[in-house]
Amino acid sequence: MSRAVSFIIALLLILVVLVLGLQVGSFESDLGTIANAFLHYDAANTTHFAIVHLRLPRLLLALVVGASLALSGYLMQAMVNNGLADPYLLGTASGASLGAIIVFFGFVPVTVLGLYMPPVFALLGAFAVTLVVVALGYRKRQLIPSQLLLAGIAISSLGTAMVGLLTFLSDSESKLRTVIFWSMGSFERASWGMLPYPATALLLALLLFVYYQKQLNILLLGEERAQALGVPVAQTRWVILATVSVVTGFAVATSGPIGFVGLIIPHVTRGLMGTTGQANLLFCAFVGGLFMLLCDLLSRLIYPPAGLPIGIITSFFGVPFFVYLLIRKNYAFKG
Amino acid sequence: MKKKPRLLYEFPWMLCLWLALGSCGQTKQETQKQLVLEDDLGREVTLNGQPERVMALAPSMTEMLFAVLDSSAIVGRTQNDDYPAAALTKPVVNNYPMDYEQLLRLKPDLVFTVEGITPPDVAERLKELGIPVYYQKYASVEDIFRGLEDIGRIMDREEQATLLTDSLRREVAQIAARHRQEEPPLRVLGLAGYDPIYVYGSSTVISDKLRILGAENAADETFDALTREFILKSNPDVLLGGTPQELERNFFSIYPELRKIKAYQNQRLYAPDFDLMSRPSPRVVESIRELEKFLYP
């Protein structure tokens, strides 16, 4: 299948799922109602209000978060030259979770930035943990990918233990509920006001890496070869780490930690498109977004009105698909 | 082939004989002492005679016991029990996670609890340790009164319990009489959590309190976190769950879209006492009176 056709199919599927997603909710609404809600918006009509102000931002947030996590996974795997890497394995997501949870449990006063505290702390946490993991990954001024992965796993476990400790020590039932619910992932709090932050981060990251794509592809061939070909390896790495922290931080802060997407989607797109090429990165983001949209729709169809926690759906429906690809395509991640 | 050891071979016969002999002596003693009750979950609860030392594993249940029993019969409380004041003088047993050792130390003859508060496996473990557990469950205000009478019967304090429930029932009837003609009934939503949004579902005692007040619960049956769209659709007249300032800060600032509901538009936002609202206890009448003030100011 040619690249252009794959892109057009992905885009069309995204549109179809968006339209389907707009129809699902507590207020009954068919295609006519949805068209009306956008073309002749009536502020007094609560169905219109729900479609425009609740459903659409929710779907767009799912799209952005899916794309962000898939992109982060793609970048991480390219950077450490290992198909196991993703924002979870390298501790970025657990750092973001820890940051957000510290705010939820009230360890920092929320008065300074109000509602923006969890995202800000998630970003700080993602940055801090990623820095520590990368520092531990160096030996003799060389980044050793296997050491980086092991450091990531260790620091992630520490992050999980700290989240567990905070949870255990908490004496407030409602805070516990907030954290437990949040940690399973949800797009329920999506709003037009929240959307610009992760969306901007994603767009900037995509633009940046369309520019960096060549270096990224050479980096996939191995660090020494990249160095020999004149790629500024160290600098590229820092750009990747900073981008992944920001993009993952925003995704986790707005929707909770949603596993699986960052690890699997890059493999799925490589399985569909091959392992090299300019368009891979963009396509990966598209497929990540589409996958998350589908999962959100499924979760709300299976378990209305609240929807099953999104992390459960991503794994339940993503893993069989991934296994199918693994068996059928017989491809290998080439580092 | 290996020869079977003699003891093992004969063991079943010896066991039967031992059981037969043993049961002759014991049945006589136990029929004098043993009491078998059936609790609200249909479980069989076996007691070694009239219980004298009891305690509860839920704050609401502790209130129930103090309303019917002498304080001296109650041997402990859980870490969350704070009413009545006399409860605070009792030794604390942590109920989550369950502190079995402390409970054994206090040697209650019977432990009362509420369905949903004490997990069944904890009750099983306590039974193994020789402490029977008696569950009550309540779906209506009347269930609470019956629960009080139930405690009275088990603890041989029937008169005390009947006096109490008679007066509580009279008060409820008087309140209900004031609101028989409410048309259309106010639709009320009770928030139990802001983030995610949890509400008191239709099968809870709160629905019955609202019915007595001529109002109705705007929530369907749900134990799940709710979507904003669901709340928008149920569009309640009254929202219980915090003062207007609290709700503005912790609820409507997170979900500004919900400012469209009638309760917000008409500023009918109220903060009932959380314990009164959520505990099925003799204070349920106090809770109904509080709600009456909010609904019909």
Q: How far apart are CA B240 and CA B188, in angstroms?
A: 7
From the list B193, B233, B255, which residue is nearest A177 (CB)?
A: B193
Task: Flag whether pLDDT at A260 surpasses 60.
Answer: yes
Q: What is the mean pLDDT of chain B?
A: 88
From the list A178, A181, A188, which residue is nearest B227 (CB)?
A: A188
* DSSP states along B122-159: HHHHHHHTT--EEEE--SSHHHHHHHHHHHHHHTT-HH
Q: Is A115 within 8 Å of B254 when comparing Cβ atoms?
A: yes
Residue B9 buriedness (CB in 10 A; 0-12 / 13-18 / 19+): exposed
| Collapsed DSSP state (helix, strand, coil) of residue A18 | helix
Q: Residue B101 corresponds to which amino acid?
A: E
Task: Flag whether residue B257 sits within 8 Å of chain A, measured between CB atoms.
Answer: yes
Residues of B in contact with A26 (CB under 8 A): 227, 229-230, 232-233
Apex CA A196: angle with CA A193 and CA A201, to 5°? 150
Q: How far is B229 from chain A (nearest CA, A)?
A: 6
Task: Flag whether pLDDT at B32 surpasses 70.
Answer: no
The pLDDT value given to residue A61: 96
Task: Flag whether residue B227 sits within 8 Å of chain A, measured between CB atoms.
Answer: yes
Q: Are A147 and A136 in contact (CB under 8 A)?
A: yes
Task: Flag whether pLDDT at B53 surpasses 80.
Answer: yes
Q: How far is A301 from chain B (nearest CA, A)?
A: 14
Q: Which residue of A has its CA nearest to B191?
A: A174
B260-270 average pLDDT score = 96
pLDDT in tens, A95-139: 888 888 888 777 776 655 666 777 788 888 888 898 898 889 888
Residue B40 zone, left/alpha/beta (φ > 0; ψ -120 to 50; rest): alpha
Task: Flag whether pLDDT at A221 surpasses 90.
Answer: no
What's the distance, Cα to Cα, between the start and end of chain B in Å? 90
For residue B98, list its beta bridge partners: B95
Residues of B in contact with A193 (CB under 8 A): 256
Which one has a higher pLDDT value, A87 or B170?
B170
Q: Is A49 within 8 Å of B232 when comparing Cβ atoms?
A: yes
B95-124 average pLDDT score = 92
Longest dimension (CA), chain B: 90
The pLDDT value given to residue A110: 62
DSSP A107: S
Which one has a higher pLDDT value, B243 or B202?
B243
Q: Which residue of B has its CA nearest to A44?
A: B260
pLDDT in tens, B194-236: 888 889 988 889 999 999 999 999 988 767 778 899 999 999 9
Q: Is A46 within 8 Å of B233 when comparing Cβ atoms?
A: yes
Q: How far is B234 from chain A (nearest CA, A)?
A: 9
The three state secondary structure string of B210-248 is HHHCCCEECCCCCCCCECHHHHHHHCCCEEECCCHHHHH
From the list A54, A115, A177, which residue is nearest B253 (CB)?
A: A115
The pLDDT value given to residue A330: 58
Neighbours of B62 (CB within 10 A): 27
Task: Flag whether pLDDT at B6 surpasses 50.
Answer: no
Task: Flag whether residue B233 sits within 8 Å of chain A, measured between CB atoms.
Answer: yes
| Collapsed DSSP state (helix, strand, coil) of residue B37 | strand
Q: Which residues contact B102 (CB under 8 A, 6 or more apart)?
A: B76, B91, B92, B93, B94
Q: Is B232 within 8 Å of A50 when comparing Cβ atoms?
A: yes
Task: Flag whether residue B230 sits within 8 Å of chain A, measured between CB atoms.
Answer: yes
pLDDT in tens, B183-204: 889 999 999 888 888 899 888 8
pTM: 0.80
**Band (B81; pLDDT cuts 50, 70, 90):** very high
Residues of A in contact with B195 (CB under 8 A): 174, 178, 181, 189
- ipTM topping 0.85: no
From the list A174, A189, A305, which residue is nearest B229 (CB)?
A: A305
Q: Where are the beta strands (DSSP E) in chain B?
A: 34-38, 44-48, 54-56, 77-78, 92-93, 110-114, 133-136, 187-193, 198-199, 216-217, 238-240, 269-270
Tell me the CA distances in angstroms from B83 to B61, B88, B273, B276, one per residue in order: 10, 7, 13, 11
Which one has a higher pLDDT value, B143 or A84?
B143
Q: Is A26 within 8 Å of B230 when comparing Cβ atoms?
A: yes
Q: Are B269 and B242 in contact (CB under 8 A)?
A: yes
The pLDDT value given to residue A180: 80
Give percent above pLDDT 70 in chain A: 93
Q: Is A177 within 8 Å of B260 when comparing Cβ atoms?
A: no
